[in-house]
Structure 1
Amino acid sequence: MNENTEKSSSKPQPTRPEPSHRFSVAPMMDWTDRHCRYFLRLLSRHALLYTEMVTTGALLHNDAARFLRHDASEHPLALQLGGSNPAELAACARLAQEAGYDEVNLNVGCPSDRVQNNMIGACLMGHPALVAECVKAMIDTVQIPVTVKHRIGINGRDSYAELCDFVGQVRDAGCKSFTVHARIAILEGLSPKENREVPPLRYDVAAQLKRDFPDLELILNGGIKTLEECHEHLQTFDGVMLGREAYHNPYLLAEVDQQLFGSQEPVVSRSEVMERLMPYLVAHVESGGAVHHITRHILGLGQGFPGARRFRQLLSADIHKAAAPLQVVEQAAQLLQGR
């Protein structure tokens, strides 16, 4: 096992599925850390999971092993990078490959001021030639897939012709898979949260892009909330990516393998997920970690059943006041019995 990979504290995992973009969970800052991904993998074996965005500077000038650390069970797993220097991105892609990641994804969608100031994220949509150069540098360095996640435009460069120019240049550099957040990004005046809600969703623009680039793999992101919507969008697109809904209502992932990948395995129950998570949680605490590092990610299991509110209260409030927080987790787990 790679030294950057944390040994699983649960039972040995079956042979991991081949990476597929048919269904994925979006990279989300402060959310999709390794503990979140371990939890989500208990719900779906086939969903492609992404790390939080990691900047090239963080990997090259800090503790790369800490940023790349993951559990073997998290696969299929992609690392999302933030950066705009081709040589640095290539070096980071190599680190990702050596650490065992299944894919490297370049962030061309984040609209925050902090990343803009470092030429990272959505502002790169205004520099398609540079993005193409970055992608080519990574593709020339690694054997794992290199993909791009982007918006349909940015303010000042939001015409369909400019979107096609961006995709075309990056395609010509060798990229074959694009995840399209079907909103433009407003680079001034809106917070990152507002940029996920205020600009209107334009699925029609993304669908036209798929028609005009039929040979590319196109994954739709933005505003998708149900598996019914996933089925609908998969009539047009090659894959769907869920973000906030997958985090706030994670139990919807429990039916992903059966509904979208044709798995014959039974749907895992909430209580089974909690039972399988406990050894990992205990191991984390025994190694010096805090319980809330993990439990903050599982609050969404408490949705839609009697006792759900109490489940969330135990893990979001009571646990911080408890002398024995693991006992609070066990108390919360009891509320999931039969669920």
Structure 2
Amino acid sequence: MKKQPSPLPRRRMLQLSLGATAGILTTAAGCNTSTGETAQSGGTSASCDVTPDQTLGPFYPHVKNGDGDVDLTTIQGKEGQAQGQVIRIRGRILDENCQPVEKALVEVWQANHAGRYSHEGDTENPIPLDPHFEGWGEMATDANGDYAFKTIKPGAYSFGDPSIIENWRTPHIHFKVSRRGYHEIVTQMYFEGEALNATDTVIQELPEGERAPFILASGQQEDNIPVFNFNLTLKKVATSKERLAAIDACTGKYEMSLPLRPPNEEVVIHREAQRLFLDLPGYATVELKPQGQDDFLATSVNCRLVFNRNEEGSVNSVTIHSILKSDKKAPVVAPKTA
């Protein structure tokens, strides 16, 4: 590892710790493949699972100084080029069906080659700024969902006592992608072969089997510049009609064994407006309160219901989880009967 700088001030340690330890969603990663291609471009098959969010960190460029174009290695109006290894980042923004998303805004920001951000919040960092490095850029995707940036490979930095390996962030580039009609994503990309990948606190938040699409090797060279392909997948915002259709799929009759209720009851679930209700035979009606997609809580009857869908998206059963601390029984699957 390169020579480590002196410990950083406490204020900076707190800033960086806050960003580095933020939680990460654990859904599967996006459409990256070993060749950097996607199903649309004739490459290997792509999963097109929605890219999970990672921490925004403390250095998002909310004050957009400089030109902010697609070339971070130079600044308009200044002579000279950023220090460090020049690289290119390319990719495509797709939806869950692997279709390109046009006019998605792709924002990137990163540390310079030595590990310093061009950000007013990083002024206590003893590492010097690079006066020729932009530090951030943005562009809109084209009709094929493509984007591209020219930048430098960022350096590692510590956010605490540099003698503690877990206090080091591995080299990484931040991404924020947004488009009207889609849920935005905030994520990061990393570089294959970096020793700090094994201890980086943000990478460790990702399940081990889902890290590969974020840790990239250069797939090719362009004008002797390494090119890294990083494809990302956005999730469409459901329309009112789609939301109601998803809820309606859960309605019907089920053969349920609820906690503290008779076994194998025929129970009806119905919809009123945008809410689901559980009709208990000869007893009461209980609202199912949404916790996530197909996940509902019914505290008054001591359970959580997770609806199960087949490949066509139809609900064919529901898994009943008891929320009683005294109930040690495994979750029970209740079939849909009508």
State the TM-score, normalized to the length of structure 2.
Answer: 0.24
Q: Whose radius of gyration is greater, 1 or 2?
A: 2
- Of Structure 1 and Structure 2, the greater strand share is in 2
- Of Structure 1 and Structure 2, the greater helix share is in 1
State the TM-score, normalized to the length of structure 1.
Answer: 0.24
